[in-house]
Structure 1
Amino acid sequence: MTEPKKPAERVDRLLDAGALRALAHPLRVEIYDILSQYGPQTASSLAARTGESSGSTSYHLRALAKHDLIREVEGRGSARERWWEREPGSVSFYNPEAMKSPAGLAATQVIMTEFLNRRHQQLLTFVTTSMRAADELNDDTTLISTANLRLTPAQAKELNERFSALIDETTDRYRGQDEEGTLPFTARVDVFALPEEGN
């Protein structure tokens, strides 16, 4: 009997100040996110998805690659059409050392704002589209839920660790899956302390 695969220990790549500054551009965040969500792309396919020119997406791809945020896909494409993918593994944009400088703090804010705006827009688009096609909605594949809790910081940390472990285990189990019937999904977990009343 084969032992079940143990989930790998979570290791985030902590982006240094240079990588944060390289990513801190709305189009670069969008490109990075598309590569994360939809897999390898060319400058042309990214141009089609973003509405930019392929020259522009190509320029931004090279800037991201310079800081090892993405890489060229080996053995795929040609001299005229290069395929790019996101470096594997999880990434943390929260680098306390980089945020000590005004430039590092500003870069982090741009990145997080762009990612959160993109996630929020994707959720709103999904909800709007689902309402228009309610008869086609598969409720079994969707969960949009809010729970309001009272936790100690230690309990919140434990909850975060459990969420992270489940997401990491699922990601490891299905990484690279590209068979018929698979669709890109995004898993979003928001756990944060609410401001005190009156704030």
Structure 2
Amino acid sequence: MADNEAGPDGSPDSAPTGTPNIHMVNARTLRGLAHPLRLRLLNNLREFGPATASGLADRLGESSGATSYHLRQLATYGFVEDDPERGKGRERWWKAVHLGTAFDSTADFLHDPDPEIRGAMGVVLHEVATVHTQELNTWLGTMHDWPEEWLRSYDLSDFKVRLTPELSLEMAEAIHDLVDSYRDRVPEGTEGSAVVRTHLHVFPRPTE
């Protein structure tokens, strides 16, 4: 599961091959992520770049005390750090350490029966799903503000295909590789370009 690469956050079961600077979550850092506001803060820093606690508070509709506290918690777990190139006086700027976050489906802690670990996973995964829904709804609500070329090029699809667990993983990895093949093909600032978000959800459904 990878979230918010080059922009959470936080999603198939392993980081795409060759993608740089992706944090592979472990049992310790999972606990550091398991708070909705921390995930929102991390996503914003990854997508929009360095910011102060007060700037993030204004953007997210939170108090600066709350954003400051949770930024320090994210720093404790290695997700964010000070940006020494910014800030004046006592103003503290934060930046994301990684481009994205991924879960390795082979990691032992993901299958741990401990309710605390399962609860933390639930918080992270449901927040990722919430962000995906918000992003999609924002696009649908603003799509007619975009040039006609973008209206012809977006996609909103779902598919149903019978697979084994092994083939499901193979398909997810193939989709990751396909998305990866488009990285860095368009330089930043290219006229008419935009950051494109692609959500991948792969899960089984009951047959009856």
Fold shared by both chains (TM-score > 0.5): yes
* Aligned equivalent of 2:164, options 148, 152, 171: 152
Shift of 1:112: 0.9
Shift of 1:110: 0.7
Match of 1:31 in 2: 41
- Read off the aligned partner of 1:123 and give its amino acid letter: L
- Read off the aligned partner of 1:189 and give its amino acid letter: L
- Read off the aligned partner of 1:192 and give its amino acid letter: F
Shift of 1:88: 2.1
- Distance, in Å, in 2 between the alignment partners of 1:177 and 1:44 is 28
Computing the radius of gyration over CA atoms, which structure comes out larger, 1 or 2?
1
* Aligned equivalent of 1:113, options 103, 108, 126: 126
Is 1:196 aligned to residue 207 of structure 2? yes
Match of 1:17 in 2: 27
- Distance, in Å, in 1 between the alignment partners of 2:151 and 2:108 is 40
- Distance, in Å, in 2 between the alignment partners of 1:175 and 1:105 is 39
Shift of 1:90: 3.8
- Report Cα offsets for 1:156-184 as digits up to 9, x if no partner: 2222111112333434x269935676544
Is 1:84 aligned to residue 94 of structure 2? yes
**Higher mean displacement: 69-78 or 116-125:** 69-78
Shift of 1:98: 5.6
- Structure 1 counterpart SS, 2:205: coil
CA distance 1:9–1:194, change in 2 (3 Å): same
Give matches, 1:110-189, under 5 Å. Answer: 110-130=123-143, 133=144, 136=147, 138-171=150-183, 173=184, 177=188, 183-189=194-200
Contact residue 35 and residue 123 of structure 2 kept, 8 A = yes
User: RMSD in angstroms over aligned alpha carbons?
Assistant: 2.9
- TM-score normalised according to structure 2 size: 0.75
- Read off the aligned partner of 2:116 and give its amino acid letter: A
Q: Identical aligned pairs, as a percentage? A: 34
Segments of 5+ residues of structure 2 without an aligned counterpart are: 1-15
Shift of 1:16: 2.4
